[in-house]
Amino acid sequence: MQAMQYEVTLPADYDMGIVRARVARLGHALDDWEGLGLKAYLVRERGVDGSPVNQYAPFYLWHEARGMNAFLYGGPFQGLVDDFGRPSVRQWTGLWYEESAVVGAEARYAVRHRTPVPAGRALAEVAQEAMHEAGLLVTLDGAVCAAVAVDSRHWEVVRFSLWKHGTPETDGDVYQVLRLSAPGRDRLPRGRQW
């Protein structure tokens, strides 16, 4: 599993209705994309849920690199580049993924928590701690799913979770989920992935 996210930060006075309309018009394009576990179409709006910015920042979980590469190098990503410019794309290697016990819950919010891996700490210990924290999240009321991944170039752990309500019980950047495309969600590997 691989996690991926890019952020398009928009002007403070940008009409976020434009982003919402774009997602409503084009979001279906990934509903059957081969290799995609899930894509959460995420936005943050300045002044809402503590966000300092207007931002479109979709988050992806891929179960195969071929699907991710097809998306980036010949798929719908080019449309985003044409409209907003080419953003940096962050990629993390998946360590863990799990669904909550609430089957079929609609994701309305997401939380992304990024943490640098401290120098001198054993990597297995950091990974185990992050997986334990994410495992606790999926047991909480309103949780839909959670994932943990690591960027081994910058040594950063990301914990990503989807929630069915606007009061997620975790810290991090809070996003509104405009849409969820999840053609391969049921095929994402569960549990520890190392």
Per-residue pLDDT, 43: 98
Of the pLDDT bands very low, low, confident and very high (cuts 50, 70, 90), residue 101 is confident
The strand pairing partners of 159, in sequence order, are 113, 148
Residue 27 sits at φ, ψ, to 5 deg, of -60, -30
Of the pLDDT bands very low, low, confident and very high (cuts 50, 70, 90), residue 74 is confident
Six token digits for residue 192: 């520890």
Of the pLDDT bands very low, low, confident and very high (cuts 50, 70, 90), residue 97 is very high
Nearest to 144 by CA among 173, 182, 179, 101: 101
Per-residue pLDDT, 167: 77
Of the pLDDT bands very low, low, confident and very high (cuts 50, 70, 90), residue 107 is very high
Q: Helix or strand or coil: residue 30?
A: helix
Q: Per-residue pLDDT tens for 119-133?
A: 999 999 999 999 999
Nearest to 164 by CA among 97, 110, 112: 110
Per-residue pLDDT, 84: 93
CA distance 25 to 74: 19
**Spacing of C-alpha 60 from chain mean position:** 5
Please state, rounded to an integer, the average pLDDT across all residues of the chain. Answer: 94
- Does the pLDDT at position 64 exceed 90? no
Of the pLDDT bands very low, low, confident and very high (cuts 50, 70, 90), residue 1 is very high
Six token digits for residue 5: 């996210």
39-52: burial string, b at 16+ Cβ within 10 Å, e else:
bbbbbbbeeeeebe
- Does the pLDDT at position 105 exceed 80? no
Q: Per-residue pLDDT tens for 127-175?
A: 999 999 999 999 999 999 999 999 999 999 999 999 998 777 788 999 9
Size of the chain, expressed as the number of residues it contains: 194
Six token digits for residue 45: 């709006």
